[in-house]
Amino acid sequence: MNHIVLYEPEIPENTGNIIRTCVAMGMRLHIVEPAGFPLSLNRLRRSAVHYVDELDVEIHDDFAAFAKKHKGRYYFLTRYGKVSPDQADFTKQEENLYLIFGSESSGIPKEILSAHENRCLRIPMHKTMRSLNLANSVAVLAYEVNRQQGFPGLSPHEPDSKKGKDYLNR
């Protein structure tokens, strides 16, 4: 299974957008505290709006508690990464895959990144830019993982569309 991990997120609107991305991409969300806003399952459910029934989220007290409970392949998105997401091989599915994103203002601590230097990724962007918005970064990586895996379990058509999947051909 594929997972998104938010390390100490600070902006509730970003977390709300990430919830929608996780549901759309069939990924489980983990939030490592402390968050920069009051964190509760009820608040997260409000952020999920229409997707509340499909929200799969787990809250962890700190990174050590998360890492002790969840084993698998970890990838960290950081501006210090030397590999772009398309160069990572996400096709191996014999163990859980965790994409870990840092807080909006300070990212992931250096001691965590240093211990996983070969799994630090950076999204290529214009040379004057340090980073993208957190929610956008999650969407980019979630899409790349699913693309490499052949979009398992994801539908190419809008569900229950009133116009139908052949709308553009009529």
Q: Where do the structural domains in the chain lie, given as residue ranges? A: 2-169
Decide: 108 and 76 in contact? Cβ < 8 Å: yes
Q: How far is CA 144 from CA 56, 103, 140, 152, in A?
A: 20, 21, 6, 12
DSSP type of residue 68: H
> b/e for 5-16, b at 16 or more Cβ within 10 A?
bbbbbbbbebbb
The fold for domain 2-169 equals Alpha/beta knot (3.40.1280)
- pTM confidence score: 0.89
Say if strands 120-121 and 97-101 run parallel, antiparallel, or are unpaired: unpaired
> Given its phi and psi angles, is residue 107 left (phi above 0), alpha (psi -120 to 50 degrees) or beta?
left
Half-sphere exposure of 165 (CA within 13 A, CB side): 6
pLDDT tens, residue order, the chain (170 aa): 999 999 999 988 888 889 889 989 999 999 999 888 877 666 666 655 566 667 788 899 999 999 999 999 999 999 999 999 999 999 987 889 999 999 999 999 999 999 999 999 999 999 898 888 999 999 999 999 999 999 988 887 777 666 777 777 77
Distance CA 163, CA 167 (A): 6
